[in-house]
Structure 1
């Protein structure tokens, strides 16, 4: 991709969402870290790694674009509080953010283990898990229509999501995959949620028959 960007004089927009939370294998470097010719525009946010209420995100621009950005949008009024920005700067400068990430990674890793274990316990081989190595959500692939499972789960109080919400062309997305998040749930809530999801899945199965 970097070779293509250099050859075509193009830019790659890299949204490194949730990159801090990887539970299996060695960390994967961002494209920006490998970018020698300044062809990557790097985006990130502190909403998942630190504090959603702070509403802080950031962009790392190639030097050429940084100058253009400053000239064109330097006086643009944005909503993030300067006080919060300064506090975050000091928090990172003093090394507290790095310690916070290490702590939160352990917390999320335990939740992640609980989620994977609960799915295997309640679904066995009836549910394929996709993307379980990192992040704060996973994908679950069934042999049935996902939208039906989503509706039945919601009626029972469990919220899972269609992947079509995140596709540029939703009609091309898989109809058998649902997305489940776990970041804001306790381990007990995760266990209960997957148990309820199983009931919804069984309900869907019986109706199809």
Structure 2
């Protein structure tokens, strides 16, 4: 798994183009059924709208991609919305843009711009985080080595998940996968080999407002 962006909290927004209303709703999804349920709920909510166009992507490599123009001219709504999600590199996300027709035709170019603009407005009201792969490392050290380890972790931006101070210091830290070997080597060197390291779970995680969110464990 490589790092990728995902919707942590969905959002919505609305724009107006020549009296047509374009209302964007965006939600995170874990399965295709989540996307279909979200689309169905939105269509039910806006049952009187002329169009409820959608796009969704699923998978760490965008393995699943779906979109619909829902009655708009072909290629003027769903595909442009999908292009926004792909360009922004957002994963596991579904978007619906509802249009209430204002009486003035926008033309194909105008429709493409309106659907993309409304989706981008909706995205700006979402909380978007980076999903990363990391490994929990249990670390045991004496108090002599503690300061050096704390300095190293702060310099490298490695978060401490838990710590326990008894006759020795026990810490659980979370190391991004691409830094694992480097950090292990640095800890051993700065403590002259006295620190004991035990690898634990491999997890996916994100950082939100300075807090570590463990999203799930990753099977090895």
With normalisation by structure 2, the TM-score equals: 0.28
Greater helix share, structure number: 1
Highest RCO, 1 vs 2 (Cα 8 Å, sep ≥ 6) = 2
Report the structure number with the largest CA radius of gyration.
2
Greater strand share, structure number: 2
With normalisation by structure 1, the TM-score equals: 0.30
